[in-house]
C-alpha cells in the first residue's frame, strides 16, 4: 500500500503540477493533520498503514514530500520529521490517493507567525482531505511569509487553522459571499470532472438557494450556498415511520386544530393524529395527498377548497400556505444553526417543485400560496422560482458519475434471454445501494459534466420519467455540447399514474371485500384508524417484488375489526370467506394475507399506464433514437416498476436509475435555483393567443362573425397566436404586441388570453379553445400634451413563454416608462 524510496524533489524553479496538489510553505513546519469530512465507516473495516516522511536537502532548499494510498474512507494523519503512522478506515470502493509537496527556502525555516495555515487537498474521487500546517515560532524573528496554494480552479478546499477551527471556503470567482464570518457546514471537495462545463454559469444575486420538493406523498427541502454551489445540503433527517429510522423526507401530511390553526406537519402530524381519541379525531383537520387535487381541479381559483379526512373543507390556499410556512421555518432555523450570521431574507432564493404537466393556474396557485406563507414578498417575484420536477431531475442527472447510478440495461444471456433471477438480483443490489446512499446529509455534484455524459454525442437525446406519488411526468431533453445546457425536444407529458394509484386499487379491493358503503362509513367515523390502515399498506407496498414467492401480511387496526362487527353483525373472517376475492385470506394474527398475485394485480393498472405512455412517447418523431431513459421519483424505488420498465425498454435504450432516486428532483431543484438559465429551450405545452378584430373577407370569414363599425366590416373572434403548442421557445425570447386604450384617460387595460391543445385554431369560439387568463396593464395618468391634437397612446406588452411560468412586462412607448403588468390564470 505504501511505496518507499521516493524520487528526489524537483529544484527550486520547478514544481510538480500534474496530479499533485502542492502548497508552497517554509521548511520546518511542525505538523500536518488531515480530518475526514464524510461520515466514518464501520469500525470492522479499520486498517492501519505506515507512511514514510522523508526530508532531503538541496542548496538553499529544505523540503518534504509525503505520498500514500488508502481505501475510500475517513483518515487522520499527523506528520513530523521521520516516520509516522497513517490510520485510515477503509471501505470497499474507489481508491484514494494523496500527494503533497512541501517546499521553501532554508533561510525562512523559523520565520512566520504561529497559527498560519494553508489548505491541502487530495486528488481523490468524491473525497476531501484538508490540512493544517503550523510553523515553529522564534520570537526574535517577525517576518511575513506569503504562501501560495497551487490548487486547480475546479477544486475547493476547506482551510483549517492551527487551532483546528474552520475558516472560510474559497469561493468561485465573482460569486456572492455570505454575510457571516463562519459557517458550520463542512463544504466537501468534488472530484475532478471528466468534462468541464464551458457555458458560463449565471451569477445569482442570492447568497443561499433553498429548494422545497412539495410531493404528493412525501416532501423535503435542501439548500446550497452560492459560494459553494457543488455542495447540496439535505434537510435534517426526520424521525418517524419505522422505529429508529431516519428519513430525508417527511410525509406530506398536515394537521390543523379544530379551529383551523396550524398544529403540525409530516411525521409529527401523522403520529399525533394517530394517537387522538377516535371521537376527538373527528374534529381535527387532517390532510394527506392533497397535492393531486390541484391538478385534477379543472376550475382552480383562489377560493378552491380541500376536504380533510373528516369531511370538513378548508380553502386550498390556506392548506398549501401552512405546509410551505412549515418548511420555511424549518429551513431558516437550520440555516441559523449552521450559519450564526444568517443573511437577510432577501438574500435567499426559494425554489418550489411542481409537476411539468401542471397548467399555468396550478403553477400560479403555488406561487400565491408561497406569498401567503411569507416565503417571499409579492413585490419581489424573482426571489421565487417554480421548478418543473422532471426538468429538475434532468439537471441533476447530467452531473451523475458512474458510481452514482444503477444501470438496468438489457444484458442478454447465452441463450439470448435474461433470467428472472438475475433481474431480481440487480433489484436487490439497487435497493441496498439506495439505502447506503442516504448516510450523509451533504451531497457533492460535479462542477462540470458527469462521467455519464462522456458517452453522449451532439444530438443525442434522453427521456426523464419522473414517477412520483401522484403523477408521472415525462420530459425529453438533449444536451448541447460543450456548453452543457439543456434543450427540450418535446412538450412535457404524463398523467395521474403515480403510486397513489396503487393505494386507490387497494381501497377498491377493500370495498369489494367489505362493501363500498362500509368503507365510506368507516372513513368518516374512524378517520384516524383509516390513516393507520393506509400506513400499514404503504409499508407492505414498498416490499412488493415481481417474483416474490411468499404472501404479504397487512395489519388491520382493531377499530376496523370491531367497527365491522358492530356495523355488519359478523366478523372480518366471514366477510373474506363470502367475498369473491380468492387471493386475499384472513390470518389468525389479525391480518389480511395477500398473495403475491393479489399484490401484483394492485400494481398492474398503474404500471401499465406508465409503460403505455412511455411507449407512445418513444414513437414520436422527435423522440426516436433516444439513448437513455432515466427513472426518477419516489415510485421509481419500486421493484415492480423497475422490472416493468426494464422488460419493456432496456432492449432499445439504457435504463438508468440514480442511486438517490427519491432525492434526485430535490437536488436538481437546488441546481436550478443556482442557475435558472440551464434549460435553454423549452416547448410550449399549449397554443396561447388573444381575440382580435380583422378586416372581414367575403368567402373566408363566416357571416356570423361580421361586425360593422364606423362603416367598416370587421371579423370578430379571430384567434391571434402568441405561441403554438409544442413550439420551441428559447429562454428570454419575447412575443411583443401593442395595445391602445379605447378612450382618453383610461387607466387600465384588460386583455383576455385564450388557449387550446391544437395548432389549427382560427377563432376563439372553436372547439377546445377556452379563456385561460387575463393580462392587466395599469396605466399612469399622462400629462396634457403640448400639441392641441392628442396623440394615440401605445402600450407595448412583452410576453415570455420560454420559462417555467408565463411572464409579462409592458412599457409606455410615448414615455418609455415601465407599465405595471400582471398575468392572472386564477380569476376565470
| d(C-alpha 476, C-alpha 814), whole Å | 43
Which residues make beta-bridge pairs with 65? 54, 101
Task: Record the cell numbers describing residue 738, joined without a space.
Answer: 401593442
Dihedral pair phi/psi, residue 272, rounded to 5°: -65, -45
pLDDT digits (tens, 9 = 90+) for 397-449: 888 876 677 777 645 443 444 445 444 555 455 545 544 444 446 666 655 55
Whether the Cβ atoms of residue 373 and residue 658 lie closer than 8 Å to each other: no
pLDDT digits (tens, 9 = 90+) for 666-690: 999 999 999 999 999 999 999 999 9
Nearest by Cα to 281 from 533, 526, 563: 526
Fold classification of 684-824 is Substrate Binding Domain Of DNAk; Chain A, domain 1 (2.60.34)
| d(C-alpha 100, C-alpha 94), whole Å | 20
pLDDT value, residue 151: 27
Please, which residues have CB within 8 angstroms of residue 473's CB and are 6 or more apart in sequence? 355, 356, 357, 388, 389, 390, 465, 466, 492, 493, 494
Cis ω for the linkage preceding 14 (within 30 of 0) = no
Whether the Cβ atoms of residue 454 and residue 196 lie closer than 8 Å to each other: no
Whether the Cβ atoms of residue 148 and residue 102 lie closer than 8 Å to each other: no
pLDDT value, residue 88: 31
Buried b (16+ CB within 10 A) or exposed e, 752-789: ebbbbeeeebebbeeeebeebbbbbbebeeeeeeeeee
pLDDT value, residue 480: 81
pLDDT value, residue 242: 54
Which residues make beta-bridge pairs with 58? 61
What is the CATH code of the structural domain delimited by 208-404+421-492? 3.30.420.40
Q: Is 208-404+421-492's fold the same as 684-824's?
A: no
What is the DSSP code (8-state) at residue 343?
P
pLDDT value, residue 216: 92
Whether the Cβ atoms of residue 159 and residue 183 lie closer than 8 Å to each other: no
Which residues make beta-bridge pairs with 737? 797
**Whole-prediction pTM value?**
0.72
Whether the Cβ atoms of residue 239 and residue 226 lie closer than 8 Å to each other: no
Whether the Cβ atoms of residue 270 and residue 531 lie closer than 8 Å to each other: yes
Q: Where are the domains of the chain?
A: 22-150, 208-404+421-492, 500-601, 684-824
Strand, helix or coil at 323? helix
| d(C-alpha 808, C-alpha 565), whole Å | 61
For the chain, 828 residues long, the average pLDDT of each consecutive 10-residue run is: 34 32 34 34 32 33 34 32 31 32 32 29 30 36 33 28 34 36 32 37 78 94 90 78 63 95 95 89 93 85 93 95 96 85 80 95 96 94 95 89 70 44 51 48 59 67 93 91 83 92 94 93 90 90 87 90 90 88 84 90 95 94 89 92 93 89 93 94 95 92 92 93 94 90 85 94 95 92 56 87 94 90 88
Q: How far is CA 57 from the centre of its chain?
A: 54
Task: Record the cell numbers describing residue 724, joined without a space.
Answer: 403554438
Strand, helix or coil at 628? strand
| d(C-alpha 164, C-alpha 308), whole Å | 53
What is the DSSP code (8-state) at residue 284?
S
Amino acid at each position: 500500500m505504501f511505496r518507499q524510496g521516493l524520487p528526489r524533489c524537483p529544484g527550486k524553479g520547478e514544481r510538480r503540477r500534474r496530479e499533485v496538489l502542492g502548497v508552497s510553505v517554509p521548511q520546518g513546519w511542525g505538523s500536518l493533520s488531515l480530518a475526514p469530512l464524510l461520515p466514518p465507516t464501520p469500525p470492522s473495516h479499520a486498517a492501519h498503514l505506515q507512511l514514510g516522511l522523508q526530508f532531503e536537502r538541496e542548496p538553499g532548499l529544505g523540503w518534504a514530500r509525503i505520498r500514500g494510498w488508502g481505501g475510500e474512507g475517513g483518515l487522520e494523519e499527523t506528520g513530523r520529521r521521520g516516520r509516522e503512522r497513517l490510520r485510515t478506515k477503509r471501505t470497499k470502493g474507489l481508491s484514494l490517493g494523496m500527494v503533497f509537496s512541501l517546499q521553501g527556502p532554508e533561510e525562512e525555516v523559523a520565520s512566520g507567525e504561529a497559527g498560519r495555515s494553508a489548505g491541502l487537498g487530495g486528488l481523490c474521487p468524491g473525497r476531501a482531505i484538508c490540512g493544517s500546517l503550523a510553523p515553529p515560532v522564534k520570537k526574535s524573528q517577525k517576518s511575513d511569509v506569503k504562501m501560495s496554494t497551487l490548487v486547480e480552479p475546479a477544486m475547493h478546499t476547506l482551510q483549517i487553522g492551527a487551532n483546528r477551527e474552520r475558516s472560510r471556503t474559497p469561493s468561485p470567482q465573482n460569486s456572492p459571499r455570505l454575510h457571516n464570518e463562519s459557517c458550520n457546514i463542512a463544504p466537501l471537495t468534488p472530484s475532478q470532472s471528466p468534462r468541464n462545463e464551458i457555458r458560463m454559469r449565471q451569477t445569482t444575486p442570492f447568497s443561499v438557494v433553498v429548494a422545497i420538493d412539495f410531493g404528493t406523498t412525501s416532501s423535503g427541502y435542501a439548500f446550497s450556498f452560492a459560494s459553494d454551489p457543488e455542495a447540496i445540503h439535505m434537510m435534517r433527517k426526520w424521525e418517524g415511520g419505522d422505529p429508529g429510522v431516519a428519513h430525508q423526507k417527511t410525509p406530506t401530511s398536515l394537521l390543523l386544530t379544530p379551529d383551523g390553526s396550524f398544529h403540525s406537519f409530516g411525521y409529527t402530524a401523522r403520529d399525533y393524529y394517530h394517537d387522538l381519541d377516535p371521537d376527538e379525531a373527528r374534529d381535527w383537520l387532517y390532510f394527506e395527498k392533497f397535492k393531486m387535487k390541484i391538478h385534477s381541479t379543472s376550475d382552480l381559483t383562489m377560493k378552491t377548497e380541500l376536504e380533510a379526512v373528516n369531511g370538513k373543507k378548508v380553502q386550498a390556499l390556506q392548506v398549501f400556505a401552512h405546509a410551505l410556512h412549515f418548511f420555511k421555518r424549518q429551513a431558516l432555523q437550520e440555516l441559523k444553526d449552521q450559519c450564526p450570521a444568517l443573511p437577510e431574507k432577501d438574500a435567499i432564493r426559494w425554489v418550489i417543485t411542481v409537476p411539468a404537466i401542471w397548467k399555468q393556474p396550478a403553477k400560479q396557485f403555488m406561487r400565491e400560496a408561497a406569498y401567503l406563507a411569507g416565503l417571499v414578498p409579492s413585490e419581489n417575484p424573482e426571489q421565487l422560482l417554480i421548478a418543473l420536477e422532471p426538468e429538475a431531475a434532468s439537471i441533476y442527472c447530467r452531473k451523475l458519475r458512474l458510481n452514482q447510478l444503477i444501470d438496468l440495461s438489457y444484458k442478454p444471456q447465452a441463450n439470448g434471454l435474461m433470467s428472472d433471477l438475475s433481474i431480481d438480483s440487480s433489484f436487490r443490489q439497487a435497493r441496498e445501494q439506495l439505502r447506503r446512499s442516504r448516510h450523509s446529509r451533504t451531497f457533492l455534484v460535479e462542477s462540470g459534466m458527469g462521467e455519464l455524459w462522456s458517452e453522449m454525442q451532439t444530438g443525442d437525446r434522453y427521456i426523464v420519467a419522473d414517477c412520483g406519488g401522484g403523477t408521472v411526468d415525462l420530459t425529453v431533453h438533449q444536451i448541447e455540447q460543450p456548453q452543457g445546457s439543456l434543450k427540450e425536444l418535446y412538450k412535457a407529458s404524463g398523467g395521474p399514474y403515480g403510486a397513489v394509484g396503487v393505494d386507490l386499487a387497494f381501497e377498491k379491493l377493500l370495498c369489494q371485500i367489505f362493501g363500498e358503503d362500509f368503507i365510506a362509513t368507516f372513513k368518516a367515523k374512524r378517520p384516524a384508524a383509516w390513516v393507520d390502515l393506509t400506513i400499514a399498506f404503504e409499508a407492505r407496498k414498498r416490499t412488493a417484488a415481481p417474483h416474490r414467492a411468499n404472501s404479504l401480511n397487512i395489519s388491520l387496526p382493531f377499530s376496523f375489526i370491531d367497527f365491522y362487527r358492530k356495523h355488519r353483525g359478523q366478523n372480518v373472517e366471514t366477510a373474506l370467506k363470502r367475498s369473491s376475492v380468492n387471493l386475499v385470506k384472513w390470518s389468525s394474527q389479525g391480518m389480511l394475507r395477500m398473495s403475491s398475485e393479489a399484490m401484483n394485480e394492485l400494481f398492474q393498472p398503474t404500471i401499465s399506464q406508465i409503460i403505455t405512455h412511455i411507449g407512445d412517447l418513444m414513437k414520436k418523431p422527435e423522440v426516436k433514437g433516444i439513448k437513455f431513459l432515466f427513472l426518477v421519483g419516489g415510485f421509481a424505488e419500486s421493484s415492480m416498476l423497475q422490472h416493468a420498465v426494464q422488460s419493456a425498454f432496456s432492449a432499445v435504450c439504457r435504463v438508468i436509475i440514480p442511486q438517490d432516486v427519491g432525492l434526485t428532483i430535490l437536488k436538481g431543484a437546488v441546481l436550478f435555483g443556482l442557475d435558472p438559465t440551464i434549460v435553454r429551450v423549452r416547448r410550449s405545452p399549449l397554443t396561447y393567443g388573444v381575440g382580435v378584430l380583422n378586416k372581414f373577407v367575403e368567402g373566408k370569414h363566416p357571416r356570423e362573425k361580421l361586425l360593422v363599425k364606423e362603416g367598416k366590416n370587421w371579423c370578430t373572434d379571430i384567434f391571434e397566436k402568441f405561441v403554438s403548442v409544442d413550439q420551441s421557445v428559447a429562454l428570454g425570447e419575447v412575443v411583443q404586441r401593442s395595445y391602445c386604450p379605447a378612450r382618453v384617460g383610461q387607466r387600465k387595460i384588460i386583455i383576455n388570453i385564450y388557449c387550446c391543445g391544437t395548432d389549427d385554431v382560427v377563432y376563439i369560439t372553436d372547439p377546445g379553445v377556452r379563456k385561460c387568463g387575463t393580462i392587466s396593464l395599469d396605466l399612469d395618468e399622462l400629462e396634457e400634451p403640448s400639441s392641441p391634437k392628442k396623440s394615440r397612446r401605445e402600450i407595448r406588452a412583452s410576453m415570455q413563454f420560454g420559462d417555467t411560468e408565463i411572464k409579462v412586462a409592458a412599457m409606455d412607448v410615448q414615455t418609455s416608462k415601465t407599465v405595471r403588468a400582471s398575468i392572472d390564470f386564477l380569476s376565470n
